[in-house]
Structure 1
Amino acid sequence: MPGHENNVVFLPVEDAARGAVAALWETLRQEAGAAAQRDQALARAMNSAVLMHASFGHALSHRLAIKLSDHDVDRDELLALIHGAYTDRPGLLGAAAADLEAVKDRDPCNTEVLTPFLYFKGFSALQAYRVGHWLWTTGRRHLARHVQSRISEAFAIDIHPAAVMGRGIMLDHGSGLVIGETAVVEDEVSILQNVTLGGTGKETGDRHPKVRRGVLIGAGAKILGNIEVGIGAKVGAGSVVVTPVAPYTSVVGVPARPVGKPHTALPGVTMDQTLSEPEYMI
């Protein structure tokens, strides 16, 4: 049976993701319980953030509502709003679970799901964006803009609610990240801090990058214009990319140019930042 929290019914996520969400929720609860036992100073926090809730959706809704509430839209209003998104689009919970697993698997400083759920602003900002995107696509665009603004203020991350983001995405650190209105980021992409997926300043309409599956984008990279970064490509830190990047190609520099091939098929998953046969020297 679907769970009932605060008189809101959480519908089940799609069949392919239901088991993953349930397994992640059980892991999250176990990690929170262990953290509370290890340090009694965290007992109240673990109970409030995880253990008191009946489902992953309810816990995530509560966490985002606390982070994003302000004078204009308070916590209870946001909680109802996020509940509405998860009820209408159950797949959002499957995407959140995939994102959380991605952080656990790819971030070398973290081996659990509890820490990113509680503290990593890249994960929180991405889940808040998903709610804003739901608002945007259902015609509630001023409220979507409000959520976008609060994400920027709370997390220093600016993702336009019309942008399209896949699943299993890691926004590592996240600070200074900007993703424009017509950008597309596909599944299993990893993006480090201070990255811009922006326009060139001269165009209207479809004007932002299309980042394909498994891409890794290094810190400080700027990818500008309606260009494609092909599947399995890698963009080096500090690069400025203004022309398309072929699949399974590494580019670096200002402007960026090809310098080799990634060692792995999907560097966004493996986080392998090395190059084979580099054509440049630092």
Structure 2
Amino acid sequence: MTTPANPASGPDILTTPAAMQRWRRDHPGELGFVPTMGYLHDGHLALVRRAKAENPLNVVSIFVNPTQFGPGEDYERYPRDEQRDLSLLRSAGVDAVYLPSPADMYPPGYQTYVTVEALTRRLEGEARPGHFRGVATVVLKLFNAVSPTRAYFGRKDAQQLRVIRRMVRDLDLPIEIVPCDIVREPDGLAMSSRNVYLSPAQRAAAPIVRRALDTAATAWAAGERDAEALRQAARNVISSEPLAQLEYVSLADDETLEELEGTVDRPALLSLVVRFGPTRLLDNIELREQHA
């Protein structure tokens, strides 16, 4: 029997793995889980709404995970606003918020990590060595504490979604991974906590990321199946914006993320990373025959 939390009193706040595990034992039944690094936006809240719609219990975690940030990346300056986040989650009616500290997640002497091999060797894994080792490790630790029935991830972090699905499959975890559509600003920019870093001029230019994807998708819909032509269509759009620096554009097998060459004859993931100053924005679109 599921014991529901009392939404009128706000979510239960759990700050250690042991406390989260005790709460879960006291609240059996189907549970939807949304892992986040906080600084919540409407994209996160869309995941929360879906978790609430599909599960009698729901938990959101807030943890800025140090092990997925490399040297010189933005761990220290990653945006944080815990009180605002908790207010949003209270309004959303979540049952519990898991707020562990780095010291509780990685106590002194910590030395165990999860590595998903082939899927992490390219794209973001190549650009950010060690990133997905940190992601897979923290997500497994969160899963172990929360014991969700379903976990909700956005499609914007496309490689992350595939890495987590592979980890769940390979380690026989009894968890359904639920992918959720990208939530965008009215001008097409994918919602991201890092958008706050953009200057006004960079923010005005940033929708070109989506326009590049749409241009390639339009070529796909018109029958273009040459992989390099599709990549070049996206590159051409990005090159028209002086503030945008293309880091990479990829057209890869939708499942393995192996880069495609020649004729695209299978579902594909078109993804790109564009820098605006020090800020990296990533976005993607799935190309499938039904789009034609």
| Pairwise TM-score range, normalised by the shorter structure | under 0.3
**TM-score normalised by L of structure 1:** 0.28
**TM-score normalised by L of structure 2:** 0.27
